[in-house]
Chains A and B, each alone.
Chain A
C-alpha cells in the first residue's frame, strides 16, 4: 500500500488550502487505485514548529509528523500564498526537517492564492525549495485562485488536480510522468461534443 502524507499549510478555518489538499489526496488515491493517505494541518503544530525553530529539535507531536513524512512514498504539499510566497510557518516546518529527509521522494506541489496574479508561486517559490531538498517534483503544479473554485469543465481546477495526481502515480510506478506530447485532436471533449448538439 502506497503511503502518502498531504501537508496543508493553510491557517484559515475553514481553509481553501485544506480543501485543495483533500481533493488532491482523493485524486491521488484514485490514481493509485488505493493508498494510505494522511492529511496533516500544519496550523495545529504551529507552537511545536516555532519551538523547533528555536531549540533545534522536534517535540514528540511534531516528531511524529516528521517520521510520517520520512516513511511516506510521496508527499502532497499545499500552501496558501502570503506576500508572494509560502507562509513562514511552512518554511519553519521545512527548516527543522533533516537535510536528507526528502531526497528522492515524489512531491506534488500545490498552492492557493487570493488572486490569479499569484499563479507563479509554485514555480518561483516552492519548486526551488524542493529542488534544494532533492525531491522528485511532479511536473504539474496545481494553483487555485478564487476564480477556479467556481469554474467547471475542461482546463479547470479538477482537471489539473487529476493530471497532477496521475503524474504522481506514474512517477511512483517508475513510468516517468506518464505523459508526452499528444498530436491527436480530442473529438470527445465536452467543448467538441457541444458543437454537434446545438440545442
Chain B
C-alpha cells in the first residue's frame, strides 16, 4: 500500500485572517510540503496541473524534478496530467526525462481536466474531450513502447519515423494511473491497458465511486490482466486532524465553510457524513480510511488532500506530522487485510523485475 498526498495547488485566501499567499510563496510551500511528506514517511507526493489562476502548478515535471532533487524515497506523481490538452508527444518526452532524473521514482496520473476554457487555449475542442483522451493516450503508449513510430490520428499531425527521446528508463515506461470522477470510458481505457485507476473520492458519496471501480475491476479481468481483485486501484481522500476531535472541528470549520469547491454549501457535519471527508482525531481518520477497503476492495494507493482551502503552511505541516503518527498502523492494517494474490502498488523497480522475469521465462521456454 502506498500512502501519500496530492495537491491541486490552489492559491486561496485564508478565511481566518484574510491573507493570501503569493504565487511564489505557494510554489515554495508546495516544495516544503512535499519534503515534509517524505520526512514523515509518506510514499507519494502528487501535484495537479492547472493553467489558470487561482492555481500555480502549470509545469508539473519542473516542480517534480526540483522536489526529486531534494528527496530520496518519495514517489513523485501528478493529480492530474492533462491528457486532453497536452500534446502526447510532449508528455512522452517530459515524463520520460523526469523518470531518468529521479531514477524511476515517479509515475503519473492522467485526467481530462475540469476547466472548460483550457481547451481552446491549447487549440482543442472540449466537445471531443473523451475522444481526445483515448487517441492521445493510445499515441502516448505507442511512443513509450515502440522505438520508431508511424502514426496517424484525428487530433494532431501524423508522425512518420518518429522516435521519442529519451526512451523510458530501463525500457520500462512510467506507470500510468487514470484519474476519474465520472467517465466510464476512462475506466475502460485503464482496464484495457492494465493501468491503475484512481477514483477522486472527494466530491461525492462513496456509492458513485464503488460503481465505477467495480466496472473497472470487471473490465481489467475481461482484458486478461488478472482477476478483478488484482486490479490496481487508487483512492483520494481528505481529512483535518487534531489530537482532540472537537479542536479539529472548530479549527477547520471556517476553511470548510469558505472552501472553493464546497464552501457556502452543505454543513461540514452533513458533508463529512455523506462523503469521505473526515474532520476529527487521528484515530477517527485511521478508522474511516481503513474502511475504504471494505467498500472498494483491497487497493494499492491512498492519497489525501491536505493543503487546500487556504490552510496556512504551518497547519499543513502539522497535519502531515499527525498523519505520520498513524501511518505505520494504517499501512500495516491495509497490508494485513490484503490477500496474498492482490499485488502491491507498482514501483519502477518491481516493474523492471517483472519485465526481466517475463523475458527470462520466454528465453527458457
* Closest Cβ–Cβ distance, residue B152 to chain A (whole Å): 10
Q: B141: CB under 8 A from chain A?
A: yes
Q: A191: CB under 8 A from chain B?
A: yes
Q: A120: CB under 8 A from chain B?
A: no
The contact of B134 among A185, A187, A195, A199, by CB within 8 Å, is A195
Q: A198: CB under 8 A from chain B?
A: yes
Q: How many interface contacts (CB-CB < 8 Å) are there between A and B?
A: 24
Q: A55: CB under 8 A from chain B?
A: no
B215 in contact with A195 (CB, 8 Å)? no
A195 in contact with B192 (CB, 8 Å)? yes
* Closest Cβ–Cβ distance, residue B292 to chain A (whole Å): 23
The interface residues of chain B, by DSSP majority, are classed as helix
Q: A196: CB under 8 A from chain B?
A: yes
The A183-198 residues at the B interface (CB cut-off 8 A) are 185, 187, 191-192, 194-196, 198
Q: B117: CB under 8 A from chain A?
A: no
Residue on A with the closest CB to B135? A194
B192 in contact with A191 (CB, 8 Å)? no
* Closest Cβ–Cβ distance, residue A122 to chain B (whole Å): 20
The contact of A196 among B130, B142, B223, by CB within 8 Å, is B223
The B129-178 residues at the A interface (CB cut-off 8 A) are 130-131, 134, 138, 141-142
B142 in contact with A191 (CB, 8 Å)? no
A195 in contact with B185 (CB, 8 Å)? yes
Residue on B with the closest CB to A147? B127
Q: B265: CB under 8 A from chain A?
A: no
Whether A194 touches B134, Cβ cut-off 8 Å, given contacts A185-B184, A185-B215, is yes
B185 in contact with A198 (CB, 8 Å)? no
A198 in contact with B131 (CB, 8 Å)? no
- B residues near A187, Cβ cutoff 8 Å: 188
* Closest Cβ–Cβ distance, residue A189 to chain B (whole Å): 8
A198 in contact with B184 (CB, 8 Å)? no
- B residues near A195, Cβ cutoff 8 Å: 134, 185, 188-189, 192
Residue on B with the closest CB to A187? B188
* A195, B138: Cα distance in complex, Å: 8
Q: How large is the interface on B (under 10, 10 to 19, 20 to 34, 35 or more residues)?
A: 10 to 19
* A196, B142: Cα distance in complex, Å: 14
- A residues near B134, Cβ cutoff 8 Å: 191, 194-195
- B residues near A199, Cβ cutoff 8 Å: 138
* Closest Cβ–Cβ distance, residue B44 to chain A (whole Å): 27
A196 in contact with B192 (CB, 8 Å)? yes
Whether A191 touches B215, Cβ cut-off 8 Å, given contacts A196-B192, A198-B142, is no
- B residues near A194, Cβ cutoff 8 Å: 131, 134
- A residues near B215, Cβ cutoff 8 Å: 185
* Closest Cβ–Cβ distance, residue A34 to chain B (whole Å): 35
The A164-185 residues at the B interface (CB cut-off 8 A) are 185
B141 in contact with A192 (CB, 8 Å)? no
* A6, B128: Cα distance in complex, Å: 33
* Closest Cβ–Cβ distance, residue A48 to chain B (whole Å): 42
* A199, B159: Cα distance in complex, Å: 14
A198 in contact with B130 (CB, 8 Å)? no
Residue on A with the closest CB to B139? A198
* Closest Cβ–Cβ distance, residue B145 to chain A (whole Å): 11
The A116-175 residues at the B interface (CB cut-off 8 A) are none
Q: Interface digits, B219-254 against A, CB 8 Å rule (1 contact, 0 not)?
A: 000010000000000000000000000000000000
* A185, B142: Cα distance in complex, Å: 27
* A191, B129: Cα distance in complex, Å: 11
- B residues near A198, Cβ cutoff 8 Å: 138, 141-142
A191 in contact with B141 (CB, 8 Å)? no
- A residues near B185, Cβ cutoff 8 Å: 191-192, 195
In this complex, the member of B142, B184, B189, B192 whose beta carbon has the largest number of chain A beta carbons within 10 angstroms is: B184
- B residues near A185, Cβ cutoff 8 Å: 184, 215
- A residues near B130, Cβ cutoff 8 Å: 191
* Closest Cβ–Cβ distance, residue A119 to chain B (whole Å): 13
- A residues near B188, Cβ cutoff 8 Å: 187, 192, 195-196
* A100, B174: Cα distance in complex, Å: 69
What are some 24 contacts across the A-B interface (CB < 8 A)? A185-B184, A185-B215, A187-B188, A191-B130, A191-B131, A191-B134, A191-B185, A192-B184, A192-B185, A192-B188, A194-B131, A194-B134, A195-B134, A195-B185, A195-B188, A195-B189, A195-B192, A196-B188, A196-B192, A196-B223, A198-B138, A198-B141, A198-B142, A199-B138
Q: A194-B134, A195-B188, A195-B189 are in contact. List 17 more A-B contacts (CB 8 A).
A: A185-B184, A191-B130, A191-B134, A191-B185, A192-B184, A192-B185, A192-B188, A194-B131, A195-B134, A195-B185, A196-B188, A196-B192, A196-B223, A198-B138, A198-B141, A198-B142, A199-B138
